[in-house]
């Protein structure tokens, strides 16, 4: 064979092979609805990503086992962002431009959702955050949704609880200055707490990844506040509680959903006991929908589901509800159907999307007793 005849023979062949490959791929993607997920599967917030993934996985498996959505199976593609904002941008870009996903679920942490949401918005791919509570997340655009409450509410829940239940008059703040969640929640707490007559008497800062908080805790101890409000994530919060106990600090810690992790009790040890957090759900809830979820999750993963698992599960099922109502599976139709989500009965409460694409739901306050968080009070929006 001459070089020319080789080209004549192989090039068209290669084109035919490539074309049939493309159409096979296309056909395959047409039979499924592809959901992209990005989250912290590793790093200091690893349980956030892992629990969320498990919740999503459980929901998708159940839907697929029952035949999928209008005959189409759901396919999940997940990326680990190692708990980093830059990696979140990379992951969402890849999900959209390489994997051609129809919709995205993520992230947990508000700073990471805020970093990646502009990409989803720019490409007009609907994104649902299961658990980012900072108000700015969904404000990024009309393709960005969440199935959880937001921090103006969560901050006020903690302030009301501190004032009414704990009779706190003074509070210390310990804020992660690099976290949108931490800064925002501290701010919303302060507004309500001071409006109720309370006083912030000391404020200290840290950055996620820090491991030694003795200087901040010593400064707080000197002021003797009634409560120490820490709107942080579990790894740092666990270390703080432990170090506070070592320093002989007696004040009770209060904080938000960011504490939620099976690792918190491991890190803090008995120093956890007595402290309070607000959260999206409690395993003490006797609602059969909640108990059924806990039972199935435990059977599958041999672990009690945390709030992230419940929110991941709800995010996936809110999406399925929207897909069932959508006239077709274009991204615009999925977006419109998500926006019309109404009275969806989730594990974490009844979910209705408001005009800012946020869910308005009650919060619970739970207290650590013998290393397990127990229900104390439910606060309605």
Residue 119: partners with Cβ closer than 8 Å, 6 or more residues away? 89, 92, 93, 96
Tokens representing 360 are 């308005």
Report which of 152, 217, 150, 163 is spatially closest to residue 194, judged by C-alpha positions. Answer: 163
CB 257, min distance to ligand PHE, A: 4
CB closer to ligand PHE, 238 vs 307: 307
Q: Is 257 in the site for ligand PHE (CB under 6 A)?
A: yes
- Closest contact distance (angstroms) between CB of 151 and ligand PHE is 7
Binding mask 181-200 for ligand PHE (x = CB under 6 A): x-------------------
DSSP 222: H
Q: Does 260 bind ligand PHE (CB under 6 A)?
A: yes
Interface pick for ligand PHE out of 88, 131, 243, 341 (rule CB under 6 A): 131
Q: Do 357 and 139 touch, CB atoms closer than 8 A?
A: no
Q: Give the CA diameter of the chain.
A: 92
Q: From 4-12, 95-103, 126-134, 318-326, give the range in contact with ligand PHE by CB under 6 A.
A: 126-134
Q: How many CB atoms lie within 10 A of CB 167?
A: 9
Please give the backbone phi and psi of residue 203, each rounded to the nearest 5 degrees, phi first.
-130, 130
145 binding ligand PHE? (CB under 6 A) = no
DSSP string, 297-315: HHHHHSS---HHHHHHHHH
How far is the C-alpha of 61 from the C-alpha of 126, rounded, in Å? 21
Stretch that binds ligand PHE, among 103-111, 197-205, 219-227, 355-363 (CB under 6 A): 103-111
Is residue 33 at the binding interface for ligand PHE, with CB under 6 A as the rule?
Answer: no
State the minimum distance, in angstroms, from the CB of residue 181 to ligand PHE: 3
- Cis before 107 (ω within 30): yes
Binds ligand PHE by CB under 6 A, chosen from 36, 39, 152, 258 = 258
Give the residue, chosen from 133, 190, 358, 367, that forms a contact with ligand PHE under the rule CB under 6 A: 133
Crossing angle of helices 214-223 and 234-246, in 10° steps, is 60
Q: By CB under 6 A, what part of segment 298-327 binds ligand PHE?
A: 307-308
Q: Which residue is nearest to ligand PHE (CB)?
A: 181
281 φ/ψ angles, rounded to the nearest 5 degrees: -160, 160
48 binds ligand PHE (CB under 6 A): yes
Site for ligand PHE, rule CB under 6 A: 48, 108-110, 131-134, 181, 257-258, 260, 307-308
């Amino acid at each position: 064979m001459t070089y020319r005849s080789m080209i004549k023979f192989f090039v068209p062949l290669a084109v035919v092979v490539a074309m049939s490959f493309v159409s096979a791929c296309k056909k395959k993607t047409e039979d499924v609805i592809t959901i992209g997920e990005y989250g912290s599967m590793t790093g200091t917030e690893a349980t956030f990503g892992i629990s969320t993934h498990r919740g999503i996985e459980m929901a998708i498996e159940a839907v697929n086992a029952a035949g999928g959505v209008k005959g189409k199976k759901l396919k999940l593609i997940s990326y680990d962002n190692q708990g980093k904002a830059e990696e979140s941008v990379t992951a969402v870009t890849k999900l959209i431009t390489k994997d051609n996903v129809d919709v995205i679920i993520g992230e947990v942490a508000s700073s990471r959702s805020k970093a990646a949401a502009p990409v989803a918005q720019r490409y007009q791919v609907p994104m649902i955050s299961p658990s980012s509570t900072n108000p700015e997340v969904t404000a990024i655009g009309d393709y960005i949704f969440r199935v959880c409450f937001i921090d103006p509410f969560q901050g006020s829940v903690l302030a009301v609880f501190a004032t009414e239940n704990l009779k706190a008059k003074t509070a210390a703040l310990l804020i992660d200055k690099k976290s949108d969640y931490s800064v925002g929640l501290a701010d919303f707490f302060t507004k309500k707490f001071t409006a109720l007559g309370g006083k912030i008497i000391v404020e200290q800062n840290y950055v996620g990844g820090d491991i030694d908080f003795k200087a901040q805790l010593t400064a707080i101890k000197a002021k003797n506040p009634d409560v120490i409000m820490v709107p942080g994530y579990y790894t740092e919060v666990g270390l703080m509680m432990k170090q506070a106990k070592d320093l002989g600090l007696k004040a009770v810690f209060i904080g938000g959903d960011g504490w939620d992790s099976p690792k918190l009790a491991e890190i803090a040890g008995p120093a956890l006991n007595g402290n309070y957090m607000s959260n999206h759900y409690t395993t003490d809830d006797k609602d059969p929908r909640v108990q059924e979820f806990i039972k199935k999750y435990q059977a599958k993963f041999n672990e009690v589901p945390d709030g992230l698992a419940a929110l991941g599960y709800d995010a996936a099922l809110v999406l399925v509800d929207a897909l069932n109502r959508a006239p077709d599976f274009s991204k615009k139709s999925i977006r419109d159907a998500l926006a019309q989500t109404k009275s969806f009965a989730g594990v974490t409460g009844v979910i209705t999307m408001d005009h800012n694409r946020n869910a308005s739901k009650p919060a619970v306050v739970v207290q650590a007793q013998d290393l397990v968080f127990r229900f104390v009070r439910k606060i309605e929006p």
